[in-house]
């Protein structure tokens, strides 16, 4: 996730999505989740901190606006499940995972902002399995930028964004006074 957060000069940034485009993408994502899950009471939208969590909250709000019923949300910490501990000069901040008490029969939808190598998603699946055995795990992302290193594919995608590995994808969701949008940053 840290590769998307680095701020860079405006010269090399090009806009991919603006605030209304993000809204539309998340609304469509919510409708696809409703369509694919007839019983929404079994669904848990579990966001990967921090922006995956923000997206999960927004999608959940959209679903409840359309269906008139609340959908469960949760948080999945992946820091302690990563496979690169000991190789990074800076450790990711570890947060507590919050999932419903029992995952029996539930559909856990992992939610993140950008899908890249797939390693974060693998770590999230490991984290979920240490809490129990859900009926199924699905994946929803705002951006799929390609370059997978593991056999992982998303079930719900806001936007497919072809990138080159030396580019960075920056997502801002309007936390505080920052502007919302998705940008590609060239090195």
Name the site residues for another protein (rule: CB under 8 A).
Answer: 77, 79-83, 85-91, 93-97, 126-127, 129-132
Tell me whether residue 123 or residue 157 sits nearer to another protein (CB atom).
123
- Least distance to another protein, CB of residue 28, Å: 33
Tell me whether residue 97 or residue 107 sits nearer to another protein (CB atom).
97
User: 143 with 113: CB under 8 angstroms?
Assistant: yes
- Least distance to another protein, CB of residue 82, Å: 8
- Least distance to another protein, CB of residue 126, Å: 7
Tell me whether residue 10 or residue 93 sits nearer to another protein (CB atom).
93
Return contacts of 98-105, CB within 8 angstroms, 24+ apart.
98/74, 99/44, 99/46, 99/74, 99/75, 99/128, 99/131, 100/44, 100/72, 100/74, 102/132, 103/44, 103/128, 103/131, 103/132, 103/133, 103/134, 104/132, 104/133, 104/134, 104/135, 105/42, 105/134, 105/135
Tell me whether residue 99 or residue 115 sits nearer to another protein (CB atom).
99
- Least distance to another protein, CB of residue 73, Å: 17
């Amino acid at each position: 996730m840290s590769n998307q957060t680095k701020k860079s000069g405006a010269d090399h940034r090009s806009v991919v999505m603006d605030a209304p485009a993000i809204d539309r993408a998340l609304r469509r994502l919510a409708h696809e989740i409703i369509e694919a899950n007839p019983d929404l009471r079994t669904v848990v939208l579990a966001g990967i901190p921090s922006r995956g969590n923000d997206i999960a909250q927004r999608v959940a709000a959209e679903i409840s606006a359309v269906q008139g019923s609340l959908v469960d949300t949760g948080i999945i910490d992946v820091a302690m499940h990563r496979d690169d501990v000991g190789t990074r000069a800076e450790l990711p901040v570890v947060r507590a995972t919050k999932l419903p008490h029992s995952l029996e029969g539930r559909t856990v939808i992992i939610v993140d902002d950008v899908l890249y190598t797939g390693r974060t998603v693998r770590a999230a699946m490991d984290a979920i399995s240490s809490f129990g055995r859900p009926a199924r795990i699905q994946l929803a992302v705002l951006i799929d930028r390609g370059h997978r290193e593991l056999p992982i594919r998303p079930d719900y995608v806001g936007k497919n964004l072809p990138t080159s590995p030396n580019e960075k994808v920056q997502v801002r969701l309007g936390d505080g006074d920052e502007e919302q949008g998705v940008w590609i940053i060239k090195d």
